[in-house]
A and B are shown apart, each in its own frame.
Chain A
Amino acid sequence: MMNISTTSACRRCWFAVFASIFVLTGVVVRAGDLKLEVQLVWGTNDEKSPDPKLKPVEADVRKKLADLPLKWSHYFEVNRKRFDVAKGETTKAALSQKCAVEVKSLEGEKVEVVWFGKKGEVVGKQKQPLAKGEMLVLGGNAPNATSWLLILKRLE
Protein backbone atom coordinates (compact mmCIF):
# COMPACT_ATOMS: atom_id res chain seq x y z
CA MET A 1 0.00 0.00 0.00
CA MET A 2 1.61 3.28 -1.12
CA ASN A 3 1.30 6.99 -0.48
CA ILE A 4 2.92 9.46 -2.82
CA SER A 5 3.02 13.13 -1.96
CA THR A 6 2.23 15.68 -4.66
CA THR A 7 5.77 17.11 -4.63
CA SER A 8 7.30 13.71 -5.05
CA ALA A 9 4.82 12.95 -7.84
CA CYS A 10 5.91 16.10 -9.71
CA ARG A 11 9.55 15.13 -9.43
CA ARG A 12 8.84 11.62 -10.64
CA CYS A 13 6.77 12.98 -13.50
CA TRP A 14 9.61 15.10 -14.87
CA PHE A 15 12.11 12.32 -14.32
CA ALA A 16 9.88 9.98 -16.34
CA VAL A 17 9.66 12.56 -19.14
CA PHE A 18 13.41 12.98 -19.44
CA ALA A 19 14.01 9.26 -19.06
CA SER A 20 11.54 8.59 -21.87
CA ILE A 21 13.28 11.01 -24.20
CA PHE A 22 16.63 9.48 -23.35
CA VAL A 23 15.38 5.96 -24.02
CA LEU A 24 13.69 6.89 -27.28
CA THR A 25 16.88 8.57 -28.48
CA GLY A 26 18.79 5.44 -27.58
CA VAL A 27 16.40 3.34 -29.64
CA VAL A 28 16.90 5.49 -32.72
CA VAL A 29 20.68 5.43 -32.43
CA ARG A 30 20.87 1.62 -32.09
CA ALA A 31 21.71 -0.28 -35.28
CA GLY A 32 23.78 -3.18 -36.54
CA ASP A 33 23.71 -6.97 -36.50
CA LEU A 34 21.02 -9.14 -35.05
CA LYS A 35 22.33 -11.41 -32.30
CA LEU A 36 20.22 -14.55 -32.13
CA GLU A 37 20.10 -17.79 -30.24
CA VAL A 38 18.19 -20.83 -31.43
CA GLN A 39 17.48 -23.91 -29.34
CA LEU A 40 16.10 -27.25 -30.44
CA VAL A 41 13.94 -28.49 -27.60
CA TRP A 42 12.05 -31.70 -26.94
CA GLY A 43 8.72 -31.41 -25.14
CA THR A 44 7.40 -34.30 -23.09
CA ASN A 45 5.40 -35.15 -20.01
CA ASP A 46 8.11 -37.48 -18.76
CA GLU A 47 10.16 -36.08 -15.92
CA LYS A 48 13.38 -37.58 -17.22
CA SER A 49 14.76 -37.64 -20.71
CA PRO A 50 15.77 -41.08 -22.09
CA ASP A 51 18.99 -39.43 -23.21
CA PRO A 52 20.87 -38.35 -20.06
CA LYS A 53 22.85 -35.79 -22.08
CA LEU A 54 19.68 -33.70 -22.50
CA LYS A 55 19.28 -31.06 -19.82
CA PRO A 56 16.04 -29.28 -18.87
CA VAL A 57 15.63 -25.86 -20.48
CA GLU A 58 16.43 -22.76 -18.44
CA ALA A 59 13.86 -21.44 -16.02
CA ASP A 60 12.97 -18.32 -18.02
CA VAL A 61 12.32 -20.40 -21.15
CA ARG A 62 10.35 -22.95 -19.17
CA LYS A 63 8.17 -20.18 -17.72
CA LYS A 64 7.47 -18.68 -21.14
CA LEU A 65 6.61 -22.08 -22.59
CA ALA A 66 4.26 -22.72 -19.67
CA ASP A 67 2.34 -19.56 -20.58
CA LEU A 68 1.75 -20.84 -24.12
CA PRO A 69 -1.12 -23.20 -24.98
CA LEU A 70 1.17 -26.24 -24.92
CA LYS A 71 0.31 -29.34 -23.00
CA TRP A 72 3.77 -30.63 -22.11
CA SER A 73 5.17 -30.22 -18.66
CA HIS A 74 8.87 -30.86 -19.31
CA TYR A 75 11.22 -29.45 -21.92
CA PHE A 76 14.75 -30.63 -22.65
CA GLU A 77 17.38 -28.82 -24.68
CA VAL A 78 18.72 -30.92 -27.54
CA ASN A 79 21.00 -28.34 -29.08
CA ARG A 80 21.69 -24.62 -29.00
CA LYS A 81 23.44 -22.23 -31.33
CA ARG A 82 24.20 -18.52 -31.28
CA PHE A 83 24.82 -16.56 -34.40
CA ASP A 84 24.80 -13.04 -35.82
CA VAL A 85 22.83 -11.89 -38.83
CA ALA A 86 23.96 -8.69 -40.55
CA LYS A 87 21.31 -6.28 -41.82
CA GLY A 88 19.88 -7.52 -45.09
CA GLU A 89 21.84 -10.78 -44.87
CA THR A 90 20.83 -14.41 -44.27
CA THR A 91 22.41 -16.91 -41.91
CA LYS A 92 21.62 -20.61 -41.66
CA ALA A 93 22.11 -22.78 -38.58
CA ALA A 94 21.75 -26.56 -38.40
CA LEU A 95 20.40 -27.80 -35.08
CA SER A 96 20.53 -31.47 -35.97
CA GLN A 97 20.79 -33.72 -39.00
CA LYS A 98 17.06 -33.31 -39.50
CA CYS A 99 16.50 -29.71 -38.53
CA ALA A 100 17.89 -26.39 -39.69
CA VAL A 101 16.78 -22.80 -39.56
CA GLU A 102 17.65 -19.83 -41.73
CA VAL A 103 17.18 -16.24 -40.57
CA LYS A 104 17.18 -13.12 -42.71
CA SER A 105 17.39 -9.71 -41.09
CA LEU A 106 14.87 -7.35 -42.72
CA GLU A 107 14.12 -3.67 -42.13
CA GLY A 108 13.60 -2.48 -38.58
CA GLU A 109 13.15 -5.36 -36.18
CA LYS A 110 11.65 -7.68 -38.76
CA VAL A 111 13.10 -11.11 -39.46
CA GLU A 112 12.24 -13.82 -41.93
CA VAL A 113 12.69 -17.31 -40.53
CA VAL A 114 12.71 -20.40 -42.74
CA TRP A 115 12.91 -23.82 -41.24
CA PHE A 116 13.94 -27.01 -42.97
CA GLY A 117 12.95 -30.62 -42.40
CA LYS A 118 15.02 -33.80 -42.37
CA LYS A 119 15.31 -34.01 -46.13
CA GLY A 120 16.36 -30.38 -46.38
CA GLU A 121 12.95 -29.36 -47.64
CA VAL A 122 11.39 -26.07 -46.59
CA VAL A 123 8.79 -26.76 -43.92
CA GLY A 124 7.65 -23.23 -43.31
CA LYS A 125 8.42 -19.54 -43.33
CA GLN A 126 7.58 -16.89 -40.77
CA LYS A 127 8.07 -13.17 -41.21
CA GLN A 128 7.55 -10.88 -38.21
CA PRO A 129 9.18 -8.31 -35.95
CA LEU A 130 11.34 -9.80 -33.22
CA ALA A 131 12.46 -7.28 -30.60
CA LYS A 132 15.24 -7.78 -28.11
CA GLY A 133 14.33 -10.41 -25.52
CA GLU A 134 11.40 -11.74 -27.58
CA MET A 135 11.01 -15.35 -28.64
CA LEU A 136 9.63 -17.11 -31.68
CA VAL A 137 8.67 -20.72 -31.00
CA LEU A 138 8.09 -23.09 -33.90
CA GLY A 139 6.74 -26.47 -32.96
CA GLY A 140 5.18 -29.69 -34.07
CA ASN A 141 4.28 -33.16 -32.93
CA ALA A 142 6.82 -35.88 -32.32
CA PRO A 143 6.09 -39.57 -31.67
CA ASN A 144 4.82 -40.93 -28.36
CA ALA A 145 2.84 -37.80 -27.59
CA THR A 146 5.91 -35.58 -27.43
CA SER A 147 6.88 -32.50 -29.38
CA TRP A 148 9.81 -30.73 -30.98
CA LEU A 149 10.28 -26.99 -30.60
CA LEU A 150 12.63 -24.54 -32.27
CA ILE A 151 13.04 -21.54 -29.99
CA LEU A 152 14.52 -18.46 -31.62
CA LYS A 153 15.47 -15.71 -29.19
CA ARG A 154 16.81 -12.29 -30.03
CA LEU A 155 19.68 -11.42 -27.74
CA GLU A 156 20.52 -7.98 -29.13
Chain B
Amino acid sequence: MINITGKRFWFFVISLVFILVSLLSLFTFGLKTGIEFTSGSMLTIDFEQKVEQPQLTAELANLGYTDVIIQRTGAGDYLIRTPELNADKKKALEEGLAAKFGKLTETEFDSVSPMIAGETAQNAVIAVAIASIGILLYLTWAFRRMPHPIRYGTCAVIALVHDAFIALGVFSILGGILNWQVNLMFITGILTIIGYSVNNIVVIFDRIRENLRLGISPDFEVVVNSSLIETLGRSLNTIITTLITVFALMFFVGASIQNFVVVLVVGLIAGTFDSICVAPMLLVTWDKKEWGKFVSWLPFAARAKG
Protein backbone atom coordinates (compact mmCIF):
# COMPACT_ATOMS: atom_id res chain seq x y z
CA MET B 1 0.00 0.00 0.00
CA ILE B 2 1.23 3.48 -0.84
CA ASN B 3 2.21 5.38 2.25
CA ILE B 4 0.72 8.85 1.89
CA THR B 5 0.56 9.77 5.55
CA GLY B 6 4.27 9.02 5.97
CA LYS B 7 5.08 11.98 3.72
CA ARG B 8 3.06 14.37 5.84
CA PHE B 9 5.96 16.58 6.87
CA TRP B 10 6.85 17.08 3.22
CA PHE B 11 3.28 18.13 2.49
CA PHE B 12 3.48 20.61 5.35
CA VAL B 13 6.67 22.01 3.85
CA ILE B 14 5.02 22.44 0.44
CA SER B 15 2.10 24.09 2.18
CA LEU B 16 4.37 26.42 4.17
CA VAL B 17 6.21 27.42 1.01
CA PHE B 18 2.89 28.38 -0.61
CA ILE B 19 1.87 30.34 2.46
CA LEU B 20 5.21 32.17 2.58
CA VAL B 21 5.06 33.05 -1.11
CA SER B 22 1.48 34.28 -0.71
CA LEU B 23 2.40 36.34 2.35
CA LEU B 24 5.40 37.81 0.59
CA SER B 25 3.32 38.76 -2.42
CA LEU B 26 0.54 40.23 -0.28
CA PHE B 27 3.10 42.36 1.52
CA THR B 28 4.86 43.54 -1.64
CA PHE B 29 2.03 43.82 -4.16
CA GLY B 30 -1.04 43.91 -1.93
CA LEU B 31 -4.33 43.33 -3.70
CA LYS B 32 -5.75 45.50 -6.46
CA THR B 33 -9.41 45.99 -5.81
CA GLY B 34 -11.94 46.32 -8.62
CA ILE B 35 -14.26 49.27 -9.26
CA GLU B 36 -17.15 47.44 -7.63
CA PHE B 37 -15.45 47.98 -4.29
CA THR B 38 -13.64 51.26 -4.74
CA SER B 39 -15.70 53.04 -7.45
CA GLY B 40 -14.46 54.26 -10.79
CA SER B 41 -14.92 53.35 -14.43
CA MET B 42 -13.74 50.39 -16.45
CA LEU B 43 -13.52 50.49 -20.23
CA THR B 44 -12.95 47.44 -22.39
CA ILE B 45 -11.41 48.59 -25.62
CA ASP B 46 -10.65 46.63 -28.73
CA PHE B 47 -8.13 48.40 -30.97
CA GLU B 48 -8.14 47.59 -34.64
CA GLN B 49 -4.39 48.10 -34.86
CA LYS B 50 -1.85 46.47 -32.62
CA VAL B 51 -1.23 48.56 -29.54
CA GLU B 52 1.43 47.77 -26.96
CA GLN B 53 0.71 48.29 -23.30
CA PRO B 54 3.51 50.85 -22.63
CA GLN B 55 2.28 52.97 -25.56
CA LEU B 56 -1.22 52.88 -24.16
CA THR B 57 -0.03 53.81 -20.67
CA ALA B 58 1.97 56.72 -22.12
CA GLU B 59 -0.95 58.02 -24.19
CA LEU B 60 -3.33 57.76 -21.24
CA ALA B 61 -0.88 59.78 -19.13
CA ASN B 62 -0.70 62.24 -22.00
CA LEU B 63 -4.48 62.60 -21.84
CA GLY B 64 -4.25 63.31 -18.13
CA TYR B 65 -4.94 59.82 -16.82
CA THR B 66 -1.90 58.93 -14.77
CA ASP B 67 -3.78 56.92 -12.18
CA VAL B 68 -5.02 54.13 -14.46
CA ILE B 69 -4.73 50.36 -14.23
CA ILE B 70 -4.45 48.53 -17.54
CA GLN B 71 -5.03 44.81 -17.95
CA ARG B 72 -4.72 42.95 -21.20
CA THR B 73 -7.35 40.22 -21.64
CA GLY B 74 -6.79 36.86 -23.27
CA ALA B 75 -8.67 38.08 -26.36
CA GLY B 76 -6.20 40.97 -26.82
CA ASP B 77 -8.56 43.67 -25.59
CA TYR B 78 -7.53 46.17 -22.97
CA LEU B 79 -9.34 46.72 -19.71
CA ILE B 80 -8.68 50.28 -18.66
CA ARG B 81 -9.60 51.31 -15.19
CA THR B 82 -9.94 55.04 -14.56
CA PRO B 83 -11.49 57.26 -11.94
CA GLU B 84 -15.23 57.64 -12.47
CA LEU B 85 -15.89 59.04 -15.96
CA ASN B 86 -18.96 61.00 -16.98
CA ALA B 87 -20.24 60.94 -20.55
CA ASP B 88 -18.16 63.93 -21.69
CA LYS B 89 -14.91 62.76 -20.14
CA LYS B 90 -15.41 59.28 -21.57
CA LYS B 91 -16.02 60.70 -25.03
CA ALA B 92 -12.92 62.87 -24.79
CA LEU B 93 -10.84 59.90 -23.63
CA GLU B 94 -12.01 57.65 -26.44
CA GLU B 95 -11.50 60.35 -29.04
CA GLY B 96 -8.01 60.96 -27.70
CA LEU B 97 -7.13 57.26 -27.94
CA ALA B 98 -8.66 56.97 -31.40
CA ALA B 99 -6.63 59.97 -32.58
CA LYS B 100 -3.43 58.24 -31.48
CA PHE B 101 -4.09 54.56 -32.19
CA GLY B 102 -6.72 54.53 -34.92
CA LYS B 103 -10.14 52.97 -34.89
CA LEU B 104 -11.29 51.38 -31.67
CA THR B 105 -14.42 49.74 -30.35
CA GLU B 106 -15.61 50.08 -26.82
CA THR B 107 -17.02 46.66 -26.12
CA GLU B 108 -17.83 47.16 -22.48
CA PHE B 109 -18.14 50.04 -20.10
CA ASP B 110 -18.81 49.92 -16.39
CA SER B 111 -19.02 52.80 -14.02
CA VAL B 112 -19.58 52.56 -10.30
CA SER B 113 -20.21 55.50 -8.01
CA PRO B 114 -18.70 55.62 -4.52
CA MET B 115 -22.15 55.08 -3.03
CA ILE B 116 -22.70 51.77 -4.85
CA ALA B 117 -19.09 50.73 -4.24
CA GLY B 118 -19.54 51.24 -0.49
CA GLU B 119 -22.69 49.13 -0.43
CA THR B 120 -21.08 46.40 -2.52
CA ALA B 121 -18.02 46.18 -0.31
CA GLN B 122 -20.19 46.09 2.81
CA ASN B 123 -22.50 43.39 1.46
CA ALA B 124 -19.57 41.32 0.22
CA VAL B 125 -18.13 41.35 3.75
CA ILE B 126 -21.52 40.32 5.15
CA ALA B 127 -21.79 37.51 2.59
CA VAL B 128 -18.32 36.18 3.42
CA ALA B 129 -19.11 36.35 7.15
CA ILE B 130 -22.44 34.53 6.79
CA ALA B 131 -20.90 31.92 4.51
CA SER B 132 -18.12 31.28 7.04
CA ILE B 133 -20.61 30.90 9.87
CA GLY B 134 -22.80 28.66 7.71
CA ILE B 135 -19.89 26.42 6.80
CA LEU B 136 -18.67 26.27 10.43
CA LEU B 137 -22.16 25.28 11.58
CA TYR B 138 -22.31 22.68 8.86
CA LEU B 139 -18.92 21.27 9.84
CA THR B 140 -19.92 21.11 13.52
CA TRP B 141 -23.00 19.19 12.48
CA ALA B 142 -21.19 16.93 9.99
CA PHE B 143 -18.52 15.98 12.54
CA ARG B 144 -20.86 15.54 15.50
CA ARG B 145 -20.32 11.80 15.58
CA MET B 146 -16.56 11.91 15.10
CA PRO B 147 -14.40 10.80 18.02
CA HIS B 148 -12.83 14.26 18.46
CA PRO B 149 -15.23 16.65 16.69
CA ILE B 150 -13.14 19.71 17.58
CA ARG B 151 -10.03 18.20 16.01
CA TYR B 152 -11.79 17.28 12.78
CA GLY B 153 -13.50 20.66 12.58
CA THR B 154 -10.32 22.60 13.27
CA CYS B 155 -8.26 20.67 10.72
CA ALA B 156 -10.97 21.19 8.09
CA VAL B 157 -11.14 24.93 8.80
CA ILE B 158 -7.35 25.27 8.63
CA ALA B 159 -7.37 23.53 5.24
CA LEU B 160 -10.15 25.79 3.94
CA VAL B 161 -8.48 28.99 5.13
CA HIS B 162 -5.27 27.73 3.55
CA ASP B 163 -7.14 27.19 0.28
CA ALA B 164 -8.60 30.71 0.29
CA PHE B 165 -5.25 32.17 1.29
CA ILE B 166 -3.45 30.55 -1.65
CA ALA B 167 -6.09 31.94 -4.04
CA LEU B 168 -5.54 35.38 -2.51
CA GLY B 169 -1.78 34.99 -2.88
CA VAL B 170 -2.06 33.96 -6.53
CA PHE B 171 -4.29 36.95 -7.21
CA SER B 172 -1.91 39.24 -5.44
CA ILE B 173 0.88 38.02 -7.74
CA LEU B 174 -1.35 38.32 -10.82
CA GLY B 175 -2.33 41.78 -9.62
CA GLY B 176 1.27 42.79 -9.21
CA ILE B 177 2.39 41.49 -12.59
CA LEU B 178 -0.66 41.65 -14.85
CA ASN B 179 -2.84 44.16 -12.98
CA TRP B 180 -5.59 41.63 -12.27
CA GLN B 181 -8.15 43.00 -9.89
CA VAL B 182 -10.09 41.47 -7.07
CA ASN B 183 -13.74 42.01 -7.85
CA LEU B 184 -17.07 40.65 -6.76
CA MET B 185 -16.71 37.61 -9.01
CA PHE B 186 -13.43 36.84 -7.22
CA ILE B 187 -15.32 36.69 -3.91
CA THR B 188 -17.94 34.53 -5.61
CA GLY B 189 -15.23 32.20 -6.85
CA ILE B 190 -13.62 31.89 -3.40
CA LEU B 191 -16.95 31.09 -1.75
CA THR B 192 -17.78 28.52 -4.43
CA ILE B 193 -14.40 26.87 -4.00
CA ILE B 194 -14.73 26.73 -0.23
CA GLY B 195 -18.22 25.26 -0.52
CA TYR B 196 -16.83 22.68 -2.90
CA SER B 197 -13.67 21.83 -0.94
CA VAL B 198 -15.62 21.21 2.23
CA ASN B 199 -17.20 18.25 0.45
CA ASN B 200 -13.90 16.61 -0.36
CA ILE B 201 -12.72 16.92 3.22
CA VAL B 202 -16.01 15.62 4.57
CA VAL B 203 -15.94 12.59 2.25
CA ILE B 204 -12.40 11.71 3.42
CA PHE B 205 -13.12 12.30 7.12
CA ASP B 206 -16.29 10.27 6.76
CA ARG B 207 -14.24 7.36 5.53
CA ILE B 208 -11.78 7.74 8.41
CA ARG B 209 -14.69 7.55 10.84
CA GLU B 210 -16.05 4.45 9.13
CA ASN B 211 -12.67 2.72 9.17
CA LEU B 212 -12.12 3.62 12.82
CA ARG B 213 -15.42 1.93 13.62
CA LEU B 214 -14.44 -1.13 11.61
CA GLY B 215 -11.21 -1.15 13.59
CA ILE B 216 -8.98 -1.90 10.61
CA SER B 217 -5.87 -0.96 12.56
CA PRO B 218 -4.98 0.20 16.06
CA ASP B 219 -2.65 2.77 14.50
CA PHE B 220 -4.53 5.99 13.61
CA GLU B 221 -1.96 6.78 10.93
CA VAL B 222 -2.68 3.51 9.13
CA VAL B 223 -6.42 4.12 9.36
CA VAL B 224 -6.02 7.56 7.80
CA ASN B 225 -3.71 6.21 5.12
CA SER B 226 -6.09 3.47 4.00
CA SER B 227 -9.01 5.90 4.12
CA LEU B 228 -7.09 8.26 1.85
CA ILE B 229 -6.27 5.49 -0.58
CA GLU B 230 -9.83 4.22 -0.64
CA THR B 231 -11.19 7.68 -1.41
CA LEU B 232 -8.34 8.71 -3.71
CA GLY B 233 -10.12 7.53 -6.87
CA ARG B 234 -13.16 9.56 -6.02
CA SER B 235 -11.19 12.64 -4.96
CA LEU B 236 -9.11 12.70 -8.13
CA ASN B 237 -11.91 11.83 -10.56
CA THR B 238 -14.18 14.50 -9.14
CA ILE B 239 -11.52 17.14 -9.47
CA ILE B 240 -10.68 15.96 -12.99
CA THR B 241 -14.25 16.22 -14.30
CA THR B 242 -14.72 19.61 -12.64
CA LEU B 243 -11.40 20.88 -13.94
CA ILE B 244 -12.30 19.71 -17.46
CA THR B 245 -15.31 22.01 -17.51
CA VAL B 246 -13.48 24.88 -15.82
CA PHE B 247 -10.63 24.65 -18.34
CA ALA B 248 -13.19 24.60 -21.16
CA LEU B 249 -14.55 27.85 -19.71
CA MET B 250 -11.09 29.32 -19.40
CA PHE B 251 -10.02 28.54 -22.96
CA PHE B 252 -13.25 29.23 -24.78
CA VAL B 253 -14.95 31.99 -22.83
CA GLY B 254 -12.30 33.91 -20.91
CA ALA B 255 -13.08 37.59 -21.38
CA SER B 256 -15.00 39.17 -18.55
CA ILE B 257 -15.17 36.00 -16.47
CA GLN B 258 -11.50 35.19 -17.02
CA ASN B 259 -10.46 36.25 -13.53
CA PHE B 260 -13.33 34.30 -12.02
CA VAL B 261 -12.42 31.13 -13.88
CA VAL B 262 -8.79 31.45 -12.81
CA VAL B 263 -9.89 31.67 -9.16
CA LEU B 264 -11.83 28.45 -9.70
CA VAL B 265 -8.83 26.68 -11.26
CA VAL B 266 -6.43 27.78 -8.50
CA GLY B 267 -8.95 27.08 -5.76
CA LEU B 268 -9.91 23.65 -7.09
CA ILE B 269 -6.31 22.49 -7.33
CA ALA B 270 -5.36 23.98 -3.96
CA GLY B 271 -8.56 22.58 -2.45
CA THR B 272 -7.79 19.07 -3.64
CA PHE B 273 -4.27 19.30 -2.28
CA ASP B 274 -5.65 20.58 1.01
CA SER B 275 -8.28 17.90 1.36
CA ILE B 276 -5.85 15.06 0.66
CA CYS B 277 -2.49 16.34 1.85
CA VAL B 278 -3.25 18.88 4.53
CA ALA B 279 -6.47 18.23 6.50
CA PRO B 280 -5.94 14.47 7.14
CA MET B 281 -2.21 14.98 7.83
CA LEU B 282 -3.00 17.61 10.44
CA LEU B 283 -5.29 15.04 12.07
CA VAL B 284 -2.51 12.44 12.21
CA THR B 285 0.03 14.93 13.51
CA TRP B 286 -2.45 16.09 16.13
CA ASP B 287 -3.21 12.50 17.14
CA LYS B 288 0.48 11.68 17.49
CA LYS B 289 1.20 15.02 19.16
CA GLU B 290 4.26 15.42 17.00
CA TRP B 291 4.25 19.19 16.41
CA GLY B 292 7.61 19.43 18.14
CA LYS B 293 8.95 16.60 16.03
CA PHE B 294 7.90 18.47 12.87
CA VAL B 295 9.73 21.61 13.97
CA SER B 296 12.93 19.71 14.75
CA TRP B 297 12.58 17.87 11.43
CA LEU B 298 12.46 21.11 9.42
CA PRO B 299 16.26 21.72 9.31
CA PHE B 300 16.64 18.14 8.09
CA ALA B 301 14.18 18.88 5.27
CA ALA B 302 16.18 21.94 4.34
CA ARG B 303 19.38 19.88 4.20
CA ALA B 304 17.71 17.13 2.18
CA LYS B 305 16.53 19.69 -0.35
CA GLY B 306 19.81 21.53 -0.48
Bound pair: A and B?
A: no
Q: Which residues of A contact B (CB under 8 A)?
A: none
Q: Which residues of B contact A (CB under 8 A)?
A: none
